[in-house]
């Protein structure tokens, strides 16, 4: 009996959908908790090629939710370790491991030639970078996020509006797994939804998950969601750029404290978000404003304040604790 007999037997799926999976190339960003069910289900389903991007190494605190890994994987590159496990699950699937961070400098190369992108990264900046890259190419993006007891999963770009259309603004505070915690089964539920959406897009199932957002609140055991097919794209937004894209003529503000990282550029000056605005330093009319921080959150907050006082071009850089490209 065929490895894929049970899914081929599903009404509306069939051998044609299986053939589409077999010839597909999927890019997965992040090899953490969301990627654990995503990779296992896509590998099991027979997706032809999976490229995996993650710069981190397996840590002990990962193991309660990142169920791809075992204790012996500690200290190993996540992307490499995950691929090693998945190759044993299904030798018919080919894999490529990229032990690098996604950023504005490499996103175009990473998405080139793929049929679908899955955002499993623990980074809101990565989500926007991916959406900005996928939208003009008509490339479908399945993006998800989980913190604590809740999360969401949605199908963006291609025939649907972008992530920015649904989330044009940021909250005052972005939660994170490190600060707010996360339960493993919640990640599993959302990651399973990502895998299902991905298979539906690749196989051409109807209705399409593109334009659909699904939410899950484990605290109350409630699912929710909505369609966003007609959500308008924002008229303007702040692009993310890489450190290599800084120019000596830029007006560069580094919002990280000295103990977080060295200055992002020799011409950069340190400031806090509260320093930015009508009473703070303003660029010349001929300059580009570059606002830098670790995650992108403070940079975006500062950009909103600067835009209220200055009409020039503003870009963001999410540099982490050390500058990266």
pLDDT, mean of each 10-residue run, the chain (325 residues): 90 95 98 95 98 94 84 93 96 97 96 98 91 98 93 97 94 59 87 98 96 96 97 96 94 94 94 93 94 94 95 94 42
Would you call 199 helix, strand, or coil by DSSP?
Answer: helix
Beta bridge partners of 239: 315
Would you call 45 helix, strand, or coil by DSSP?
Answer: helix
Dump pLDDT digits (tens) for 163-201.
999 999 876 555 555 556 678 889 999 999 999 999 999
CATH entry, 239-318, from 3.30.460.10, 3.40.250.10, 3.40.640.10, 1.10.3720.10: 3.40.250.10
Domain 5-227 is found in CATH 3.40.50.720: yes
Contacting residues for 185 by C-beta, under 8 A, at least 6 apart: 218
d(Cα 269, Cα 253) in Å, to the nearest integer?
Answer: 5
Q: In the chain, what are the domain boundaries?
A: 5-227, 239-318
Tokens (6 digits) for 51: 């490229």
Residue 325, pLDDT score? 29
The two beta strands, 212-217 and 222-227, are: antiparallel
Residue 264, pLDDT score? 93
CA angle 1, 42, 104 (to 5 degrees): 160
Residue 73, pLDDT score? 85
């Amino acid at each position: 009996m065929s490895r894929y007999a049970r899914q081929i037997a599903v009404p509306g799926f069939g051998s044609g959908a299986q053939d589409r999976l077999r010839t597909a190339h999927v890019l997965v960003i992040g090899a953490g908790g969301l990627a654990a069910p995503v990779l296992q289900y896509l590998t099991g389903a027979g997706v032809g090629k999976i490229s995996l991007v993650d710069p981190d190494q397996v840590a002990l605190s990962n193991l309660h939710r990142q169920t791809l890994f075992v204790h012996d994987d500690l200290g190993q590159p996540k992307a490499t370790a995950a691929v090693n496990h998945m190759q044993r699950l299904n030798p018919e699937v080919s894999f490529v491991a990229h032990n690098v961070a996604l950023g504005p400098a490499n996103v175009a190369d990473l998405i080139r030639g793929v049929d679908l992108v899955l955002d499993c990264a623990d980074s809101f900046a990565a989500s926007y970078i991916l959406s900005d890259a996928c939208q003009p190419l008509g490339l479908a993006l399945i993006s998800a996020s989980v913190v604590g007891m809740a999360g969401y999963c949605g199908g963006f770009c291609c025939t649907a509006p972008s992530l920015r259309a649904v989330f044009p603004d940021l909250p005052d505070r972005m939660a994170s797994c490190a600060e707010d915690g996360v339960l493993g089964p919640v990640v599993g539920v959302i990651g399973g939804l990502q895998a299902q959406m991905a298979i539906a897009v690749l196989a051409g199932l109807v209705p399409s998950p593109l334009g659909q957002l699904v939410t899950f609140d484990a605290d109350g055991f409630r699912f929710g969601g909505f369609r966003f097919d007609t959500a308008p794209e924002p008229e303007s937004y702040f692009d993310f750029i890489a450190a290599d894209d800084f120019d000596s003529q830029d007006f560069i503000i580094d919002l990280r404290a000295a103990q977080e990282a060295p200055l992002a550029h020799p011409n950069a000056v340190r400031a806090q978000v509260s320093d930015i605005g009508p009473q703070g330093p303003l660029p010349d009319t001929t300059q580009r404003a570059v606002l830098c921080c670790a995650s992108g959150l403070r940079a975006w907050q500062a950009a909103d304040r600067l835009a209220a006082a200055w009409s020039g071009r503003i870009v963001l850089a999410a540099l982490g604790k050390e500058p990266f490209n």
